[in-house]
Amino acid sequence: MNPVLTFDAHGVARCLHTDAIPLQSLGTLEIHRATTIEFNSADQLWEVKDTEGVILLSDPSRSCCLAWELDHFNH
């Protein structure tokens, strides 16, 4: 995966966090999660949810959920 760092018109940078880019060197960080990945015990599945709690993906593999998240937000 190649990290992607974009800047809006106000100079605010956005990216998926990665240690490949020393983000602290840009200044003070403000981190916001795009999703949460939690285990649903009742269904025995990992769920990727957006900030409103909507399930975007369910899978028995947490690794698959993490890979989906990276792919989804890098496009």
Predicted local confidence at residue 39, as pLDDT? 98
Could you tell me whether strands 36-40 and 45-49 are parallel, antiparallel, or unpaired per DSSP bridges? antiparallel
Q: How confident is the model at residue 74 (pLDDT cuts 50, 70, 90)?
A: confident
- Tell me what the mean pLDDT of segment 10-16 comes to: 85
Give domain status of residue 4, yes or no: no
**Who wins on pLDDT, 65 or 70?**
65
CB 47 within 8 A of CB 55: yes
pTM: 0.73
Instruction: With respect to residue 8, please indicate whether it lies within any of the assigned structural domains.
Output: no
| 28 part of a folded domain | no
Domain that holds residue 58: 34-75
Asked, for residue 3, whether it belongs to a domain, the answer is: no
Express each pLDDT in 29-51 by its tens digit: 888 888 999 999 999 999 999 99
Tokens found for residue 56: 């975007």
| Backbone phi, psi, residue 40, to 5° | -95, 105
User: Exposure pattern of 52-68 as b/e (b: 16+ CB <10 Å)?
Assistant: eeeeebebeeeeebeeb
pLDDT for 3 beyond 80: no
User: How many domains are contained in the chain?
Assistant: 1
